[in-house]
A and B are shown apart, each in its own frame.
Chain A
């Protein structure tokens, strides 16, 4: 066709659109990684260690190989050797848990020791459960304490320690001081769709159909591990049923590639829900000490936030909870410190709002305690401590609209009518209270590539190796592309989840949509330059590619974050310890909102997870065995519908004229501060502080005493 001058279409970004693949998902037409059929598919079942530390003496594979349908038993004695000496995405070294079957060492309970492959999943499981593994059992230690003598400061994805001023002097000079310990438990991602991967060799290329948060990320890891040319590896991940940080490279993909290589046929390995407790990563428990010192008017003189988290013996991951204060609050003396202690447990990993979720619980509860001590409204206390530059970085803020979030939220929630006194409201057997907390999460961007084809029929096809992990990213990118191309959304097809589309940022760190939108916008700009009126589009279309590496390197270095104000109302029965959240409101400043429909879902989803974090979620490890007790969703409680009341999320204008797309991340900020808002409301209801999550009935009952 021949292009003509287009009139400016109605802007798509900012208007509500249902998911472009929504019909496929609700009718079952959308195929997830474990659903895609393959001819000659073999099924692998991972065998996990039943001891918490030791060495494998023997694996009795011979009898299992005689069982019906069994094709192979893979273990450290015959599995392909892997290369683990490399740095992957963001310089992160591979977690040895993924490098399966390389030696006889068992560093934690649930360590993969073998893969049984059979013709059917039932045969594979029966054989896997029959496989006898003989261990030399060594003593283990999983007992995590805040004062563990082996803890050490650790960097992780940010410096371990920041320090300025004289803490002790400022604390001594403070009119009001808070000095408390807060703890959060081990938490798990548990996306609805368990991890699953199918690997096969096809015409000399390795193809993996997978459920992940970044197809080119997985390609890079697999290519490194198996010493392959990245161009000879293709990873597809069309639909993903949730990730939350758990869906990178894990043991099942590597085991599937090994088995497909050895058997020369497609092999699928899926994790079971109990296996996910050991192999999908988790959020470390934290023990946090917060010391705040303030003048009588609430101005912070001292801020000290120290967090200890737990990691495995073979891999260092830091749950950097003390990082929150580095951008949120300033003080004359300001100290933050993340420490870890290595124990015989599986590797933790990034989980929705890593650092910020547990860190904000401690810090935002401590601020509520300081407000109580100073006799200042908790919102006013925060606003009096708004910094004008990054407290640690000294960099200017690229928009800091926390005040607008609080002002809008306070009006809607009815905060102005709040009686600050605790334990003075009752509704039958329920004590009522309200609480608030601030939220923030960094708004970063990473280099990505995109391709856009102007098709001969006038439509556009966008190809980008983005991942839609349930966020609505595919739909959001459709709207971004439509506006950038000056086209209607139904003229644009966005194809994602295929590493052959080229490198792109993962769906993680609240950076996906922003990073991908930059690449799509750049490609669209170039394409429109090509499509001057009169351009004849050939049958194969006109394709342009973009790469935002240089553009992102040129972005001004600023403190760029999303913000939010969380509000909660709770009811507490002091006779039984039951806590019910009655309503929640979150008001966010999170850049340009691309699709209000799915954005609201992400915000409220984060807030609901915050309720769950506040009241329910907790994996309890048995020190004698080293593993979680009740590794299933009957024992690991997440909030049910009955726990989730009216949850409202909205946003204020948050423009950033200096940014090419003005989009900030919204995936994580929704959970930040949510648990603190609930905990602060529980204090307001009962007069008793809850500094340990989850706020279980027994904790409320014990704290409240015997006062039916």
Chain B
């Protein structure tokens, strides 16, 4: 294995200084993805800056009535937090749908947002991959792609983002906070992941050297009735082949407010804004839900072996919205 330098950061600004925006350096938090990638040779960092011990492990109320989640809060602690479970149940459900108990005890919120695709061509260094080796090509297009993107992909890359948590955060209008040597900044989660276009290697809009310090959730009453459902090829310990995060506010049989995001369909968590527009103000019926899902999926461009994701996402959306509808009626 390649030898590397390991530093433990004393504080946030110290971590940013240690990394020094060096493209050969990486922040290390839970390590549940980075260490695997180092073993497979996809990542060969010269320096690791350990940020796990930074004081970013709290979940606190914000003045506007929302919550701010520190970047090193573990997935387990996030899922178990009473404020999250009570006010943003979709987030707890999404986190618990991912990985295993052992991994969730290690994995952090910041790291979860930055995990890399599990596309098997990306993780195999003997294969071409535009994301890993820009310009080398995308073998998934003509190869094995049954779990690849149907939305927002390009000729360069059809990989999907693996996170469950980020799908819920996309639905919840979360904002990502970061710090660089130049100071603090923030990005709506929806803008954290740029479109693939011809640059699949550019996975986030974060400035060079930025350290994610936290994620804030706005006060979002609609999220009190929210749900995450994940479909995968076994009952546990697998990445989604399709997932839906949804929040629904129904009064007098009319959808007053809605949040909807899809997972495992694109290079990023897919906020389904077209569907949301179709839902809001419409009668709360299965027909409305189906029409909304279909409106969103009109943009789908399936590959030869992942066309099933279109009916899957449609059915899953209708099912989750109907469940929320029934929950509201109880």
Pair B142/A640 contact, Cβ less than 8 Å: no
Complex Cα distance, B146 from A38, in Å, reads: 47
Starting from the known contacts A640-B234, A696-B233, A698-B146, 10 additional A-B residue pairs (CB-CB under 8 Å) come to: A129-B41, A575-B316, A576-B315, A576-B316, A577-B308, A622-B144, A629-B144, A630-B120, A630-B124, A639-B234
Cβ 8 A contact of B315, one of A629, A696, A708: A708
Give Cα A624 to B234, complex, Å: 28
B251 shortest CB reach to chain A, Å: 25
Q: Are A640 and B236 in contact (CB under 8 A)?
A: yes
A635 to chain B, nearest CB (A): 6
Interface membership of A615, Cβ < 8 A: yes
Q: Is the CB of B311 within 8 A of A620?
A: no
The reply to whether A50 and B126 form a contact with Cβ atoms under 8 Å apart is yes
Q: Is A629 a contact of B234 with CB atoms below 8 Å? A: no
Distance of A623 Cα from B143 Cα, bound (Å):
8
Tell me if A578 and B231 are in contact (CB < 8 A): yes
Q: Are A701 and B236 in contact, with the CB atoms below 8 A? A: no
Identify which of B238, B314, B319 contacts A637 (C-beta below 8 A): B238
- A697 and B237: CB pair below 8 A? no
**Interchain Cβ contacts under 8 Å between A and B, 23 examples:** A122-B1, A126-B1, A126-B2, A575-B316, A616-B234, A622-B143, A625-B127, A625-B139, A625-B143, A629-B144, A630-B123, A637-B238, A639-B234, A640-B237, A641-B236, A643-B235, A696-B233, A697-B233, A697-B241, A697-B308, A698-B146, A698-B312, A702-B308
B7 located at the interface, meaning its Cβ lies under 8 Å from any Cβ of chain A in the complex: no
A642 CB–B CB distance under 8 Å: yes
> Chain B interface: which size bin?
20 to 34
Q: 10 tightest A-B contacts by CB?
A: A630-B120, A642-B236, A642-B235, A698-B308, A575-B315, A629-B144, A708-B315, A622-B143, A640-B236, A643-B235
B238-281: which residues lie under 8 A (CB-CB) from chain A?
A: 238, 241-242
> Does A560 touch B at the CB level, under 8 Å?
no
Pair A576/B2 contact, Cβ less than 8 Å:
no
- State the CA gap A637–B233 with chains docked (Å): 8
User: In the assembled complex, which residues on chain B have CB atoms less than 8 Å from the CB atom of A352?
Assistant: none
Most buried by A among B143, B235, B318: B235
Q: How far is the CB of B244 from chain A (nearest CB, A)?
A: 10
In angstroms, Cα B242 to Cα A184, docked, is: 25
CA distance A578 to B243 in the complex (A): 13
Q: Are B235 and A706 in contact (CB under 8 A)?
A: no
State the CA gap A122–B1 with chains docked (Å): 5
B121 in the interface (beta carbon within 8 A): yes
Report B-chain residues with C-beta under 8 Å of the C-beta of A701.
308, 311-312, 315
If over half of B's interface residues share one DSSP class (helix, strand or loop), that class is named, otherwise mixed; here it is loop
**Which chain B residue lies CB-closest to A575?**
B315
**Chain B residues, CB < 8 A from A702:** 308
CB <8 Å contact, A622 and B139? yes
**A190 interface hit (Cβ, 8 Å):** no
- Assembled-state Cα–Cα distance A580/B233 (Å): 10
Q: Contact between B120 and A635 (Cβ–Cβ < 8 Å)? A: yes
Which residues of A are found within 8 Å of B58, using beta-carbon distances?
none
**In whole angstroms, what is the CA distance A634 to B39 when docked?**
14
Query: Min CB distance, A43 to chain B, in Å?
Result: 13
- Once bound together, how far apart are the Cα atoms of A642 and B316, in whole Å? 21
Q: Which residues on B sit within 8 Å (CB–CB) of A631?
A: 124
Contact partner, A643, options B121, B234, B242, B315, Cβ 8 Å: B234
Q: Does A125 contact B (CB under 8 A)?
A: yes
Number of interface residues of A (CB under 8 A): 36
- Per-residue CB contact flags for chain A residues 628-665 toward chain B (1 = under 8 Å, else 0) read 01110011010111110000000000000000000000
> Which residue on B lies nearest to A272, using beta carbons?
B39
What residue in chain B is nearest A49 (Cβ atoms)?
B126
Give B137-161 interface residues, CB cut-off 8 Å to A.
139, 142-144, 146
Which chain A residues border B238 with CB–CB below 8 Å?
637, 640
Whether B235 lies near A575 (C-beta < 8 A) is no
CB distance from B303 to the nearest CB of A (A): 13
Q: How far is the CB of A644 from chain B (nearest CB, A)?
A: 9
B132 contacts the other chain (CB 8 A): no
For A125, A578, A622, the residue with the greatest tally of chain B CB atoms inside 10 Å of its CB is: A622
With a cutoff of 8 Å between Cβ atoms, the chain B residues found around residue A429 in the complex are 319
Complex Cα spacing A697 to B237, Å: 16
B118 touches A (CB below 8 Å): yes
A629→B312 contact, CB < 8 A? no
Give Cα distance in the complex from A338 to B234, angstroms.
32
Bound together, the chains give a CA A706 to CA B290 distance in angstroms of 12
Chain A residues near B319: list those with CB within 8 A: 429, 575-576, 708
CB distance from A637 to the nearest CB of B (A): 5
How many Å lie between the Cα of A654 and that of B314 in the bound state?
53
A643 CA / B233 CA spacing, docked (Å): 10
Task: Enumerate A456-512 residues with CB–CB distance to B below 8 Å.
Answer: none
How distant is the Cα of A697 from the Cα of B123 in the complex, in angstroms? 24
Query: Which residue from chain B places its CB closest to the CB of A625 in the assembled complex?
Result: B127
User: What A residues does B234 contact at CB under 8 A?
Assistant: 615-616, 637, 639-640, 642-643
Partner of B312, one of A125, A620, A642, A697: A697
Q: Could you tell me if A624 and B315 are in contact, using CB atoms closer than 8 angstroms?
A: no
| Chain B residue at minimum C-beta to C-beta distance from A638 | B234
Q: How far is the CA of A454 from the CA of B248 in the complex (A)?
A: 78
Chain B residues near A126: list those with CB within 8 A: 1-2
| B318 → A minimal CB distance (Å) | 6
Q: What is the distance, in angstroms, from A249's C-beta to the closest C-beta of chain B?
A: 27
Kindly provide the distance from the CB of A368 to the nearest chain B CB, expressed in whole angstroms: 24
Give complex CA distance A308, B96 in Å: 43
State in angstroms the CA–CA spacing of A125 and B1 once bound together: 7
Residues of A within 8 A of B233 (CB): 616, 637, 696-697
Within 8 A of A (CB), among B73-93: none
A664-708 CB contacts (< 8 Å) to partner B: 696-698, 701-702, 706, 708
Task: Give the distance in Å from the alpha carbon of A623 to the alpha carbon of B123 in the complex.
Answer: 18
Give A578 to B240 CA distance when docked, in angstroms. 12
Across the interface, name the chain B residue whose C-beta is closest to A611. Answer: B234
Bound: A616/B233 CA distance, A? 7
Assess the A629–B120 pair: CB atoms within 8 A.
yes
Q: Do the beta carbons of B236 and A643 come within 8 Å of each other?
A: yes
* A558-583 with Cβ < 8 A to chain B: 575-578, 580
Considering only residues 76-131 of chain A, those with a C-beta below 8 Å from chain B are 122, 125-126, 129
CA distance A697 to B124 in the complex (A): 26
Report if A698-B235 is in contact (Cβ < 8 Å); known contacts: A576-B315, A630-B120: no
A706 to B313, CA, bound (A): 11
Bound Cα distance from A50 to B128, whole angstroms? 12
Contact with A along B108-146 (1 / 0, CB 8 A): 000000000010110110110000000000010011101
Known: A622-B139, A624-B142. A576 touches B235 (CB 8 A): no
- List residues of chain A with CB within 8 A of the CB of B315: 575-576, 701, 706, 708
- List of A residues within 8 angstroms of B118 by Cβ: 634-635
Looking at A125, A577, A616, A698, which has the most chain B CB atoms within 10 Å of its CB? A698
Find the B residue at minimum CB distance from A68.
B3
Bound Cα distance A620, B148 (Å): 15
Residues of A within 8 Å of B242, CB to CB, are: 576
Q: Nearest A residue to B127 by beta-carbon distance?
A: A625
Asked if A576 and B312 sit within 8 Å, CB to CB, the answer is: yes
Task: Kindly identify, within residues 191 to 238 of chain B, every residue whose CB is under 8 Å from any CB belonging to chain A.
Answer: 231, 233-238
Q: Could you tell me if A629 and B236 are in contact, using CB atoms closer than 8 angstroms? A: no
What residues of chain B lie closer than 8 Å to A577, measured between beta carbons?
231, 308, 312
Q: Which one of B234, B308, B319 has the highest number of Cβ atoms from chain A below 10 Å of its Cβ? A: B234
A462 to chain B, nearest CB (A): 41
Q: Closest Cβ of chain A: how far from B102's Cβ, in Å?
A: 13
Give A404-433 as 1s and 0s: 1 = Cβ < 8 Å from B's Cβ atoms.
000000000000000000000000010000
CA distance in complex: A620, B118 (Å): 16
Partner of A697, one of B144, B231, B314: B231
